[in-house]
Amino acid sequence: MFARPLALTLFAAPALIAAPVAGELAQVQQHLAGVSSMTANFSQTDRNGRVLTGTMTLKRPGKIRFQYQKGVPQLIVADGRSLYFIDYQVRQVDRWPIGNSPLAVLLNPKRDITKFAKLNPTSDPRVVSIEVHDSAHPEYGRITMIFQKNASGPAGLILQGWVALDSQNNRTTIRLTNQQINGNVSDGVFRWNDPRSQGPRNR
């Protein structure tokens, strides 16, 4: 089964932000504002060490799709309003408002992360790690996003992935490779077939 923390996580622990930290958080904010779309390959590792791969497609505002490798009958997609987890094997669809997911950090270009994120120390000066949380909703869990400093990316950063931890301490790690930023992405990518009893239909 897909590790649901990906769709249900945000980070908990308020932080005091000093000026240099605020500067790096502002750099991340600037990077996210500069990303209108992204495609990448992803590798997902769940709490049991199971690894799944696939492709991620992002289009802001509000759209993302995680297409899993062949043979995995699951899909995660956000259509601009809601985030869906679709399991074609059991013909089940779960839905959440995008704002209730940590992925809102990626999907909402107007969200000011400097108000609810803190910088994590790293041993590599080329890496920026931020921890994001919603202090009003600790039940959403936690997410830590990892960026690499790279002059070719918006604001000199490229997203490398994230680690999500839900309120039951279930951990999901996403690693990205072959990132392509601000290319042309059709809205049709974010349509999906509904497997529930009324029969499949395109959404």
Determine the Cα–Cα distance for residues 149 and 159; give it in Å rounded to an integer. Answer: 9
Whether 133 contacts 116, CB under 8 Å: yes
Q: Is the dihedral of CA 107, 113, 117, 121 positive or negative?
A: positive
5: CB partners within 8 A, 6+ apart: 141, 164, 165, 166, 170, 171, 172
- How much is the average pLDDT of 41-57? 95
174-202 pLDDT, tens digit per residue, is 999 999 999 999 999 999 999 986 554 55
- Average pLDDT of span 59-80: 95
Residues 6+ apart with CB under 8 A from 110: 61
SS3 (DSSP) at 72: coil
pLDDT digits (tens, 9 = 90+) for 86-111: 999 999 999 988 877 777 788 887 77
| Mean pLDDT value across residues 126-140 | 81
What value does the mean pLDDT take over residues 125-152?
86
In terms of Cα–Cα distance, which of 133, 188, 175, 181 is closest to 158?
A: 181
Higher pLDDT, 161 or 2: 161
**pLDDT of res. 98:** 80
Confidence at 13, pLDDT banded by 50, 70, 90: very low
